[in-house]
Amino acid sequence: MPIAENIRIFAVTMLTMTKLSVNINKLATLRNSRGGNNPDLAKAALDIERFGADGITVHPRPDERHIRYQDVFDLKKVLHTEFNIEGNPTEEKFVELVLQNKPAQVTLVPDALGQLTSNHGWDTIVHQQYLVDIISRFKNAGIRVSIFVDPLPEMIMAAKTTGTDRIELYTEAYATQFPTNKEEAIRPYQLAAATANELGLGINAGHDLDLQNLSYFAKNIPGLLEVSIGHALISDAIYLGLENTVQLYKRCLKPS
């Protein structure tokens, strides 16, 4: 890509604020721990929108240990901002759930059955044909598709050929290394972002991003469209309050 075009993309990115999608799985975990409907998930999601979030993310799993399948239907009816449903599309029930609700975005994550939390991206080379097929099902329904990937240029290049609209960079490695060497921590993600930008892929990111490391990440990843944050944000809200916390995370994403 010509240098002038790279500069243009970088300039546009700096003027465009990265969107914050709040993952509400942990609120569902709290509700489920006592039964009933406290906290009320739909009300909490609407409040999070009102407090400034640009979207709501849920990640239903087959055991429904946090988000239940019915929650997805209930949330779809009331949300005003972008709805992002994450999950493993090898579960046909998940595929049908997404197709029935038609969120703005589906994020495909290669979780194993019973996995505690997402911990790796797709091997977009090995699973190339499967991803082509499943992504086409969602895109034919008018749903934007993002796939979870590690910050490896070869995986991003292969992702391009799947037909996905975006990639979501798995940021646990960045978050782990950030306290000791933030320059080294960000470097693989900058290379991954450069590859995605050259290929015309949208860039999302998520996993272990928090108030300490988010601003640096956002400022150093050109083309970053969206971050999805759940555990850290909900944990911070215990001390700081939900409204204040959402706004603090939004502030981390403001362009310089």
Residues recognised as catalytic: 59, 86, 207
Q: Where are the domains of the chain?
A: 3-252
**H or E stretch including 22?**
strand 19-23
Above pLDDT 70, what percent of the chain?
A: 90
Q: What are the CA-CA distances from residue 55 to residues 18, 149, 210 (Å)?
A: 11, 21, 17
Rounded CA-CA distance 210/106 in Å is 23
Query: Cβ-count burial of 83 within 10 angstroms (0-12 exposed, 13-18 middle, 19+ buried)?
Result: buried
Query: Has residue 11 got a pLDDT over 50?
Result: no
pLDDT in tens, 108-154: 999 665 544 555 789 999 999 999 999 999 999 999 999 999 999 99
pLDDT in tens, 191-212: 999 999 999 999 999 999 999 9
Structure pTM?
0.90
Rounded CA-CA distance 153/162 in Å is 15
Largest distance between two CA atoms of the chain: 57
**What's the pLDDT score for residue 112?**
61
Name the CATH superfamily, with its identifier, for domain 3-252: Aldolase class I (3.20.20.70)
